[in-house]
Structure 1
Amino acid sequence: MRRTTPIALAAAALLLAGCGSQSGGDSGSKGKVSPSASAPSSGSGCAAQVELKVADNGRTVCLAKGGELRLTLDGTKTRPWKPVALSGTALEAINAGFVIQPGDATAAYKAVAAGTAKLTSSRPLCPPADPGQASCKGIQQWTVTVKVK
């Protein structure tokens, strides 16, 4: 039986850690939804302010009625996010109040009624291929469900 050295194990771990990583602005909130430091605006137990990033994909967040939600999806010129789409009547779009960089998608909403809303966006999984090269047709989806109480 062959012995595996600690150096070989460490090298394998480093190689695996690099697999699946992507560039293009996918870093952000490190998987955490960032409610503001302020207390909820009602006794609902929901946040008065929420900030969302790419890493919040697939999450459900609770926003107090009258609260605000802001989001920034960091993209690139070659992998731009589509404008954020809103479904449901619990949120109303407001002015985000800042300039966006090419490829980014930003949005801001006010919680106007109790209920559920869904925010969605998408972008190409890969940058466009050079002429004569194989292209990637994958799409990266982003979705967050917002419950307003």
Structure 2
Amino acid sequence: MHGAEVTVTAADNGRRFCLDRDGSVRVSLTGTPGAPVTVTGAALAEVSEYVFRGVSAGTAVLASAFRSCPEPPPAPSGSVSCLTMTAWQVTVVVR
């Protein structure tokens, strides 16, 4: 996918996107807010907690984790609850 503005979701895990310089990537994951998104590489700069802008040609990786299960109501003491997390990342190529 390529463009000036891209929204990525949990379903995009492992995908690669092309972005125009000065374009933006909006991250919309299950369980956010609360799941920090990290950026590796100088091609993207963080604009806000879940929005990144293409600042130079190159490649960057956005990574995070989110709850694998929906947020359950508080479980009674001694019962089982789902605490698993799903690792997530996308690669963004800025042109």
- Give TM-score, length-normalised by structure 2: 0.78
Look up the SS of the partner of 1:55 in the other structure. helix
Partner of 1:51: 7
Deviation at 1:74, TM superposition (A): 3.2
1:75 & 1:66 partners in 2: Cα distance?
Answer: 28
Q: Which has the higher contact order (CA 8 A, sep 6+)?
A: 2
Identity %: 41
Q: Stretches of 4+ moved more than 6 A in 1?
A: none
Decide whether aligned partners of structure 1 residues 93 and 142 sit closer, same or farther in structure 2, where only a CA change above 3 A counts: same
Gaps of 5+ in 1: 1-32, 34-45, 96-105
Q: Flag the structure with higher strand content.
A: 2
Change (3 A) 1:140 1:130: farther
Q: Which residue of 1 aligns with 2:62?
A: 119
2:31 counterpart of 1:75: yes
Larger Rg: 1
RMSD: 2.3
* Structure 2 CA distance for aligned equivalents of residues 81 and 138 of structure 1: 15
Taking the aligned partners of 1:138 and 1:131, their CA distance within structure 2 comes to 18
Match 1:131 to one of 74, 77, 85: 77
Structure with the larger helix share: 1
